[in-house]
Amino acid sequence: MTRIDTVFRDLLRAGRKGFVPYITAGDPTIEATEEMILEIARSGADIIELGVPFSDPMADGPVIQRASERALANGVNVRDCLELVRRVRKKSNIPIVLFSYLNPLLSIGIDRLGYELRDAGVDAVLGTDLVPEESEIIRSALKAAEIDLIFLVAPTSTDDRLKLISDVSSGFVYAVSRTGVTGVRQSLSEAAATLVHRVRRFTDLPVAVGFGVSTPEHVAEVWEHADAAVVGSRIVVEIENAASASNLPAIIGGVVRQLVSSRDS
């Protein structure tokens, strides 16, 4: 079993749901990102999504766009992300999903992609702009290295497309709570619960819900119907606001503990 499989198996046995925070590598610095990953892992995260900075993050709203811009200004690239994961692996076994657009992955080279990700300790790739119809070569490369490949499904996805994505996914399926880009929201779309139930018709993989999940109440709401909640922009905006603080990792750890607080209620 992969680390992701093990996490979801253990959560199921414990009658708990998962929490998956997102942070952008290199924001505000690559060293701070390493410290935040370790603190987040201690604060209630089950899996971490690590964003690879990209110059044209078309699926992301302004909060994560700004984070990418800051990281790129620091000179952070995909290989820096792999080296970051390699350092984290010396201290933590928390599963790490590389959240990346296709171009940075292609810069590694398809023939080396799976090997380099596995060597660094990456558990999965979420290819934001990778569609299943064009994924065969990358899927083969990652499967050979036992790296999961995660796809997005949306409320607008047809049943045929849900089946197609389910058939080529591994690790878990990422259900987008609403159409549009990432960002903090005051309320969740009712379409998320319906989408999760539709996905379950086609796969036994865990289903995680993200995009707009921003509060402890949202997380608890997602947990009512999905296997995990993904929170990105809410955490990234807190990093932006406290970037110069000497205790930034502790601040972000506190945000994570607040977001998962309904686990103990």
Packing angle between helix 248-259 and helix 216-223, nearest 10 degrees?
A: 50
In degrees and rounded to multiples of 5, residue 152 shows phi and psi of: -95, 140
Q: Which of 34, 39, 49, 148 is catalytic?
A: 49
Of residues 211, 204, 201, the one with CA closest to residue 179 = 211
49: annotated active-site residue: yes
- Report phi then psi at 173, rounded to 5: -105, 135
Q: What backbone torsions phi and psi does residue 89 show, to the nearest 5 degrees?
A: -60, -20
Which residues are CB-neighbours of 47 under 8 A, at least 6 positions away? 4, 7, 18, 20, 94, 95, 96, 97, 123, 228
* Catalytic entry in 60, 80, 148, 221: 60
Active site residue 39: no
Nearest to 152 by CA among 187, 117, 177, 123: 177
Contact between 89 and 120 under an 8 Å Cβ cutoff? The reply is: yes
Buried b or exposed e, range 57-67, using 16+ CB within 10 angstroms: bebbbebbbbb
As given in the structure block, the two tokens for residue 228 are 């995990």
Which residues are the active-site residues?
Answer: 49, 60
